[in-house]
Amino acid sequence: MDKIQRLLDYFVAESSHILGTNLTGIYLHGSAVMGCFNPEKSDIDLILVAKDEVNDTAKRQFMDMVVELNKQAPEKGLELSIVREAVCRPFVYPTPFELHFSVAHLNWYQTDPKDYVAKMKGTDKDLAAHFTILYHRGQVLYGKDIREVFAEVSREAYMDSIWCDIEGATEDILESPMYIILNLCRVLGYKEEGLILSKKEGGEWMLGQLAADDRIGEEGELAKLIRDALEEYATGQKMTLEETVAKQFAEEMLARIKER
């Protein structure tokens, strides 16, 4: 984690230099603050809050810095959004953003940075999920305290945000089994107990639920599916998937989430 800390320190220094007095704060969320960061599976999740609109010149300087720094990041890279303070408290949903970056958009910026800066803004429902994790478990890297900047996201907005990520789980589980399995677990954990969980914690929570169910037990097929997903998350070694069991799991989890 020393390498990650050096990367974050540099990011904070450069961001504060580029954005200057317009920068309210920089906040870390996701696996890096939830005790389950894996360089092979995890990205570095950041939210920057600005007082006012960020002009295109500052966006270009910022993006040039981010693209260069992303070369030093883990394989999944940096994922970040810049939002304005006015949409954080009170919370606005869907949430407007000034700028976004992830490795999925790297080629677009490198090919046509002017077009990227002009068009990479709008609203993003995913920010409700990011803000929720940040509000409850995030870390301040620079600037004001989290509770001073962010209001708590409503249950309705958070559930709508995370539902968008799992509604196609029955089909998606065959393409991205580890991600979908653990994500379903953590969504159910929130639905049933109001828990704000990482993917790893979601899987562990669900194993506890299955172990307590005498009809299933801790050695059943579903428990094995979750343990295999947790193993892949921890080690990077691809899990062997029994498709029938996986689809049954997705269908049952979605039904439980929807019924509540």
- Please report the pLDDT score of residue 35 as a whole number: 87
Considering only 13-27, 37-51, 118-132, 195-209, which range has the smallest mean pLDDT?
37-51
In-domain check, residue 39: yes
- Please report the pLDDT score of residue 37 as a whole number: 87
Q: Which residues contact 173 (CB under 8 A, 6 or more apart)?
A: 180, 181, 246, 247, 249, 250
Cis check: omega of the bond before 177, within 30 degrees of 0: no
Dihedral angle computed from the Cα positions of residues 70, 72, 73 and 76, in that order, rounded to the nearest 10 degrees: 70
Residue 205's Cα: distance from chain center in Å?
19
Cβ 90 vs Cβ 151: under 8 Å: yes
85, 195, 202, 209, 250 from 192: Cα distances, Å: 32, 8, 12, 11, 17
Among 93, 123, 153, identify where a domain stops: 153
In-domain check, residue 158: no
For the chain, how many structural domains are there in total? 2
- Please report the pLDDT score of residue 216 as a whole number: 47
Distance CA 120, CA 60 (A): 12
- Please report the pLDDT score of residue 219 as a whole number: 56
Three-state secondary structure call for residue 139: strand
Tokens of 55: 């002009």
Q: Same structural domain for residues 13 and 136?
A: yes
The DSSP 8-state label assigned to residue 230 in this structure reads H
Cβ 29 vs Cβ 47: under 8 Å: yes
Q: Same structural domain for residues 117 and 200?
A: no
Q: Same structural domain for residues 64 and 86?
A: yes
User: How many CB atoms are closer than 10 A to CB 140?
Assistant: 15
Burial class (CB in 10 A: 0-12, 13-18, 19+), 215: exposed
- Please report the pLDDT score of residue 25 as a whole number: 98
Q: Same structural domain for residues 222 and 133?
A: no
* Domain encompassing residue 224: 167-259
Distance CA 53, CA 99 (A): 10
Q: Same structural domain for residues 35 and 142?
A: yes
pLDDT digits (tens, 9 = 90+) for 51-86: 999 999 999 999 999 999 999 999 889 999 999 999
pLDDT band at 1 (very low <50, low <70, confident <90, very high): low
The DSSP 8-state label assigned to residue 215 in this structure reads T
Q: Same structural domain for residues 149 and 92?
A: yes
Q: In the predicted model, is pLDDT for residue 8 greater than 90? A: yes
Among 112, 130, 153, identify where a domain stops: 153
Mean of the pLDDT values across residues 85-100? 98
Q: Same structural domain for residues 59 and 113?
A: yes
CATH of the domain at 108: 3.30.460.10
Q: Same structural domain for residues 128 and 192?
A: no
Distance CA 187, CA 193 (A): 10
Phi, psi of 134 (to 5 degrees): -60, -45
The DSSP 8-state label assigned to residue 98 in this structure reads S
- Please report the pLDDT score of residue 198 as a whole number: 95
- Please report the pLDDT score of residue 212 as a whole number: 80
In-domain check, residue 159: no
pLDDT digits (tens, 9 = 90+) for 200-255: 999 999 999 998 875 444 458 899 999 999 999 998 889 999 999 999 999 999 99
- Please report the pLDDT score of residue 42 as a whole number: 86
CA atoms within 13 A on the CB side of 243: 4
- Please report the pLDDT score of residue 217 as a whole number: 46
